[in-house]
Structure 1
Amino acid sequence: MRKRFLLMPLVAALTGIALPAPASAIVGGTRTTQPQPFVVSLQTASGGHICGGALIKANWVVTAKHCGTPAQVRIGSLNRTSGGTVARVARTVAHPVADLELLQLATAVTHAPIPIAGDSGPAGTPVVMFGWGKTCPNGSCTEPTALNQLSSTIVDGSRCAGGRDRLSGEICVDNKDNSGPCAGDSGNPLTKNVAGARQLIGVHSRAGGFPCGAAPSSHADVPDDRTWIIQHTGG
């Protein structure tokens, strides 16, 4: 939905959000304990974590455009260093305007993709983000190997303006009590619950400020670009 307005994505490795579980993570989040087969770690050829992403088809991943071109992805594991399936990235398709990018995998995977929601929802909609980003506000700590999550809510787009130019097609997410995405969280899936199941509404584009969690974060609105996604992935 292009109702909410947000800032221009910057080339910063920040992203993530999710549900509740034990242990601190993401910056104020918690460790994910339930399987999330659609969550993706974008990686270097040696397995180093770059960004997050979401599996939307057996051979397609959506992430943030500023994450660039990873060599491979790991899908279907709560640990970014082991388990799940590692697949090579065959090609990328960058959105002409939004901070969105599609990754076509060299081989299809068997993990269940996440459906894209019909719309992202109005302010007040509960959301959950997932990711492997840094858990300390100043970014000085190492990124966790275990997947983390953070529950939050959508807020009015003006909360994310930050005095910069604003773009349509983005989602502004509240970050209370200094919690929110940090370095390594770019591209992470933003989800909402629809009839008891997770659906994708966004990917993390940029944090609201420094230290991490100091202000609401902005996320590219995936349902808003459904037509573009279908055009390149085949529906």
Structure 2
Amino acid sequence: MLVGMAVPATAAEGAGEARPPAAQAAPPIIGGYLVTDADAPWAASIYRNGAFTCSGTVIAATWVLTAAHCVGSGLTVRAGSVYRAQATTINVTDHQVAPKGDLALVHLASGHETTYSRLADTDPPVGSTNQICGWGRTGYNGPLSEQLKCADVRVTSVSGTCLDHRYGPAICTTKINGNAWSGDSGGPQRYNDQQVGVASTADGRSEQTYGSVPAGRSWIRSVAGV
């Protein structure tokens, strides 16, 4: 969940600077546009005890990147299709949470070969147009999306002035043609074909915060080797 957009693993929270947004519920994309398997071969969805919980990305054969508030007991992952119901279910052996920030890595029981999400080493520029993706709600009180959606957002601040749900370095954005909401938690923010963020909180109307991938890069390398 998004806090506002993604509070822990299934809800979302309102975004803000210098402190995490107020808690709400995890988001799916409101507005934006539908994408195909060719657009997002790295797409993954997170389930807890058989129920859809969050979005995520496949970053290596046996590793999925998502939000820390998304993980817990009874995890499985679906990957291989932007249509959640058509994706392959993969068992999970373990998960690890970043020492700082709303990031987590989920270890798959079997390898999933695809084009993996490339991870950025630096935050995107303030003012740049980024893309966010997820299976969250398609309206403030609307249903979850069965097909992956993405939307364009504008970066308003980055690590140092923007914090995620766990008070870690984050990237704050406002909507251009869509925004994150409940169910989008754990999903990616992308810039120049690289993943720069992981959905953490949102207000469900315009603003969202994504945990900074560059800030957690050394931890990700130490765990997943990528």
- TM-score, length-scaled by structure 2: 0.82
Alignment of 1:92-107 (within 5 A): 92-107=95-110
| 8 Å CA contact 2:57, 2:64 repeated in 1 | yes
Shift of 1:118: 2.3
2:219 is matched by which residue type in structure 1? W
Between 1:5-14 and 1:111-120, the stretch displaced more is 5-14
Q: Give 1:175's aligned amino acid.
A: K
CA RMSD, Structure 1 to Structure 2 (Å):
2.7
Q: Residues of 2 paired with 1:87 and 1:166: CA distance?
A: 28
Is the aligned partner of 1:227 residue 2:218? yes
Match of 1:201 in 2: 196
Is 1:190 equivalent to 2:180 in the alignment? no
Within 1, Cα distance between the matches of 2:89 and 2:36? 21
> Partner of 1:82 in structure 2?
86
Q: Given residue 58 of structure 1, which amino acid in structure 2 is its aligned partner?
A: A
Residue of structure 2 in register with 1:122 after alignment: 125
Tell me the percent identity. Answer: 29
For residue 114 of structure 1, report the CA deviation from its aligned partner: 1.1
1:8 to 9, 15, 20: 20
Which residue does 1:170 correspond to in 2? Answer: 170
CA distance in 1, matches of 2:59, 2:166: 27
Instruction: Provide the secondary structure at the position in 2 that maps to 1:206.
Output: strand
Cα distance in 1 between the residues matched to 2:80 and 2:18: 31
* Equivalent-residue separation in structure 2 for 1:58 and 1:165 (angstroms): 28
Counterparts of 2:22 and 2:66 in 1: how far apart (Å)?
Answer: 14
Distance between the aligned counterparts of 1:50 and 1:91, measured in 2? Answer: 17
CA–CA distance in 1 between the matches of 2:162 and 2:121?
A: 25
Residues 40-189 of structure 1: matches in 2 within 5 Å?
Answer: 40-46=44-50, 48-69=51-72, 71-83=75-87, 85-137=88-140, 139=141, 141-157=142-158, 167=167, 169-176=169-176, 179-189=178-188
* Structure 2 residues not aligned, in runs of 5+: 1-15
2:44–2:57 CA contact under 8 A, matched in 1: yes
Q: Which amino acid aligns with 2:59?
A: I
Residue 165 (structure 1) shift: 9.9
SS in 1 for 2:153: strand
- Which string of whole-angstrom CA distances, capped at 9 and with x for unpartnered residues, describes residues 168-212 of structure 1? 5100011247x311111100111112xxxx2111110000x2xx1
Deviation per residue, 1:23-57 (Å, 9 max, x gap) = xxx212111135211111001343x3110011111
Q: Distance in 1 between matches of 2:120 and 2:162?
A: 25
Q: Which runs of 5+ in 1 are unaligned?
A: 17-25
